[in-house]
Structure 1
Amino acid sequence: MKSQSIFQIMRNQELRSGRSYDLGKMNLKELWVAYLTHGTILLYFSLILACIVGIYYTFTGWMPVLASTIVMILGFPLIWYIIHRWIMHATFLYQIKWTASLWKRIHFDHHQDPHLLNVLFGSPLNTIPTIIIVGGGIGLAVGGVPGAFAAIGTAIYMACFYEFFHCIQHLGYKPKSHYVLRIKQLHIMHHFHFEKGNYGITNYFWDRVFGTFYTDAKSRPRSPTVFNIGYDIKEAERYPWVMLKTGSPPRDRPEGSNFREQKKSSTHQEQKAA
């Protein structure tokens, strides 16, 4: 395929929309365009700017702002770990009719088809209220109103940062950076080998603390629920709301999945990086 310039890629209306694109078939240039023109990311950038304006109009000194920013930078990986492990991978959400659609959108769809861009990003209807409540609450406690704006803006920036590297981890692209290659390998194993571990995205410190970190496929048996995160046919019969919303039974692997190739590639990259 002939290499395209960034301007040629930007003229691709379907790609610019960031919808229904398979990251496994995209290159890095295409990802940058899809990411920077995606409505969710543009909304996040706008909210970061709004938080900067909020800091300006409520400014009482640099200490509350800096303290809240630092606390959020340090705390974000733990917040992400808690949400990812105990909410996104929890079973109680699909067992309740009123939260089944929420669980489907925030994580089930992503595990059913890990490379699909339009379900990789969290829905702003879910992420923004969470960031405002959690991040704003922490910032308010640390630095008052300007601290709340600083913490919210920092949390949104961290979410953007996480989402970009999350895309990289599902991109059909081998990173040149050893660090990025390694976190890509760890996340691929979360999706294609054993989902009850490696909950981090760019930081696996809390996985190590809570004993959910593993470095290679030999460390854990392959999970039969790695693609449906526990919502199998039997569970769908008991709690049908996600299945009814999807319009089809849960799959035990993505449609058109190249699981064997993913696993082989991941193993090869691990051996080369070792």
Structure 2
Amino acid sequence: MSGTLNNPSLKTGRSFDLGKMNLRQLWVAYLTYPTILLYFALILGCLAMTCLYFAGWGATLLAACAVVVVYPLAWYLLHRYVLHGHLLYKNPWTASLWKRIHFDHHQDPHLLDVLFGAPVTTLPTIILITGPIGYLIGGVGAAAAAIGTGITITCIYEFFHCIQHLNYKPRSAWIQRMKARHVLHHFHDEDGNFGITSFVVDRLFGSYYVDAKARRRSPTVFNLGYDIQQAARYPWVMQQTGSPPRDRPDGARPEGKHAA
């Protein structure tokens, strides 16, 4: 990474800390991060495949639009019922997967390298969701367009997800509202506001809320229900962490200062 990111003031000793970074530093981190560079390369590869097996403008655009519509719903269902579910940590074979893809992020939401999903889990999921949609619409070419669209949306999600945990107040009122809703998900009640850039699906499923007054604060907002009692019964995540689950993260700032 660049000299800017090697500044010790940006690091917690474990990882780059979004709570100590500004917007310019985030751009540098984002555009040089290996996972994002891999996504960019795969988008170009999908574009090449779309051109090589071109299905026509109609099928290509329809495949891309279908993914734009389906993606928020797919993300919501995965986020709410898989990432926030308890099944994965109760199995020794999937406990490490759950720890990496979501538990670590809720334990300390400012850590950049656990905020980004691991390609080994994100890419198969994107391909399995978007590929069949495109293929049914227009064969291999439309499937490539659909997969490329899914990866592009993922890049957008990841950047705005970083913004939501960055020590920065957006100028845009829309982004401010989006950030405020996501902060509530991490610091007030995790059983709501599952969206990243849009909360339309949250509204449809009744999991949307606008401020802390709307709900009581959840005691499991930082550990997703994997508390001391659960860790004693299902120890595999705790064994990999090396310490019991925390009921609040080692944030860069006091909890009360996390609001957007």
TM-score range, shorter chain: over 0.9
Q: Which residue of 2 aligns with 1:90?
A: 85
Q: Does residue 31 in structure 1 map to residue 23 in structure 2?
A: no
Q: Which residue of 1 aligns with 2:117?
A: 122
- AA aligned to 2:256 is R
Q: Which residue of 2 aligns with 1:198?
A: 193
- AA aligned to 1:12 is T
CA distance in 2, matches of 1:158, 1:53: 18
Contact 2:55 2:142 in 1 (8 A): no
Q: Which residue of 2 aligns with 1:217?
A: 212
Q: Does residue 208 in structure 1 map to residue 203 in structure 2?
A: yes
Q: Which residue of 2 aligns with 1:183?
A: 178
Which residue, 12, 15, 19 being the options, matches 2:4?
Answer: 12
CA distance in 2, matches of 1:181, 1:12: 26
CA RMSD of aligned residues (A): 1.5
CA distance in 1, matches of 2:55, 2:246: 54
Cα deviations across residues 90-141 of structure 1 (Å, max 9, x unaligned)? 1000001100000000000000000100100000000001111111111112
Q: Does residue 152 in structure 1 map to residue 147 in structure 2?
A: yes
- With 57-66 and 159-168 compared, the bigger mean Cα shift is at 57-66
Q: Which residue of 2 aligns with 1:253?
A: 248
- AA aligned to 1:260 is G
Residue aligned with 1:98, SS: coil
1:28-177 aligned within 5 A = 28-177=23-172
TM superposition score normalised by structure 2: 0.95
TM superposition score normalised by structure 1: 0.90
User: How many percent identity over aligned positions?
Assistant: 58
Specify every segment of 5 or more residues in structure 2 that has no aligned partner in the other structure, as ranges: none
Tell me the matched-pair count: 254
Pairwise CA distance, 1:13: 5.5
Pairwise CA distance, 1:63: 1.3
Specify every segment of 5 or more residues in structure 1 that has no aligned partner in the other structure, as ranges: 1-8, 270-274
